[in-house]
Amino acid sequence: MRAIIYSEFGPAADVLQAHDLPDPEAGPGEVLVRLAYSGVNPSDAKARAGSRPGVTKPAFERIVPHSDGAGVIEAVGDGVDPGRVGERVWIWNGQWQRAFGTAAELIALPAAQAVPLPEGVSPETGACLGIPGLTAAHTVFGGGDVSGQTLLISGGAGAVGHNAVQLAKWGGARVIATCGEAGMERVRAAGADAVFDYGDPDLAEKIAEASGGNGIDRAVEVEFGQNAALLGEVMRPNGTICAYGSGKEMTPTLPFGPYLFKALTLDIVLIYILEDARRDAAIARLHDALTAGALKPAIDAIHPLEDCAKAHDAVMTPGRNGAVLLKL
């Protein structure tokens, strides 16, 4: 099979290489998927660059990157229903704690990680559901239904945020979102009731006004470190901050007083290690929203497999309008 590999950390153009590898086989409890698309995420690019604290070399001698993807089951291992052969699926955790991910023509992985793709949903959309889709679904609905609540979604123009805006609106919430000026119309079109520039010096006041003075019930937060103080101002008492990122400030200073006297809950999310029941719930929400036509993950660019380095650079470029995929 054709695949992209790397064996050392470094710039994408320097370390990512196209290679022919032996076709994998489905072991016991596994399925073999012929991939149509591979989803490229910022976490994939950061892992390849070696930017994770304390990690000095790749965990495996040779890595095929990427956790997300979509394709068709070509074979099954012992213990898996043979009726799954020919099934269209999307993939989660393809390369999480494993050497071989989805930047390849084939992948063998545990059967549960190949989820049947709902009828009418394209494989391009399927390749967007792993990290950005599940993160959005869990951060919005991880505490239960949001009907009648007011949600604040930071980074509403990003892949996770854009999905979260759509899901929250579909779930019956009032949605307030922040983003850069260039993304405001996209975020409004996704369903946000109010959209503000994250750099606005009067942001806290505007969010408070947009919430009707009642505060935010649930915040979906991509830059917790930068926004910790703001959240202390705008959350309602007993509200929940669901933080899935803090890339610009990884050692936040927490304003404990405002958090204490509002009894705020800080829920830190790492979608890779979500418990099975909560992942199943997030998958169900995604499928329901897709079937209802309420969720349309945005795709910024689709690159051929051989242009994987360009895709890694693209996914780390600010201002992109959606997911970045490789076409297999």
Least confident of 18-32, 46-60, 140-154, 251-265: 46-60
Distance from C-alpha of 95 to C-alpha of 65, rounded to nearest angstrom: 6
The model's pLDDT over 242-274, given as tens digits with 9 standing for 90+, comes to 999 999 999 999 999 999 999 999 999 999 999
- Judged against a pLDDT cut of 90, whether residue 317 lies above it is answered with yes
Residue type, 269: V
Give the DSSP letter string of 137-155: HHHHHTTS--TT-EEEESS
Q: Is residue 242 a contact partner of residue 267, using CB atoms and an 8 Å limit?
A: yes
Q: State what percent of residues in the chain have pLDDT above 90.
A: 98
- How high is the mean pLDDT of the chain? 97
Dump pLDDT digits (tens) for 169-196. Answer: 999 999 999 999 999 999 999 999 999 9
Q: How many CA atoms lie within 13 A of 17 on its CB side?
A: 12
Please give the distance of CA 321 from its chain centroid, rounded to a whole number. Answer: 14
Q: What is the mean pLDDT of residues 306-318?
A: 97
Distance from C-alpha of 131 to C-alpha of 232, rounded to nearest angstrom: 27
* Exposure class string for 188-213: b at 16+ Cβ within 10 A, else e: bebbbbbbbbbeeeebeebbbebbee
DSSP E strand stretches across 46-197: 68-76, 88-91, 106-110, 114-116, 150-153, 174-179, 194-197
Tens of pLDDT, residues 195-242? 999 999 999 999 999 999 999 999 999 999 999 999 999 999 999 999
Q: Which domains does the chain have, with CATH numbers?
A: 2-128+297-327 (3.90.180.10), 136-272 (3.90.180.10)
SS3 81: coil
**pLDDT band per the 50, 70, 90 thresholds, residue 97:** very high
Q: Residue 307 pLDDT > 90, yes or no?
A: yes
Residue 54, pLDDT > 90, answer: no
In the predicted structure, residue 53 carries a pLDDT above the cut 90:
no
- The CA–CA distances, whole Å, from 221 to 213, 216, 267 equal 20, 12, 10
The answer to whether 219 and 164 have CB atoms below 8 angstroms apart is no
Measured CA distances, 314 to 35, 131, 175, 299, 310 (Å):
21, 17, 28, 12, 6
DSSP-derived 3-state class of residue 224? helix
pLDDT, tens digit, for every residue of 20-42?
A: 999 999 999 999 999 999 999 99
On whether the CB atoms of residues 126 and 70 are closer than 8 A, the answer is yes
pLDDT, residue 11, reads 98
pLDDT for 98 beyond 90: yes
Cβ-contact 190, 165 below 8 angstroms: yes
Task: With cut-offs at 50, 70 and 90, classify the pLDDT of residue 290.
Answer: very high
133 secondary structure, DSSP code: I
What per-residue confidence (pLDDT) applies to 314?
97
pLDDT for the residue numbered 52? 84
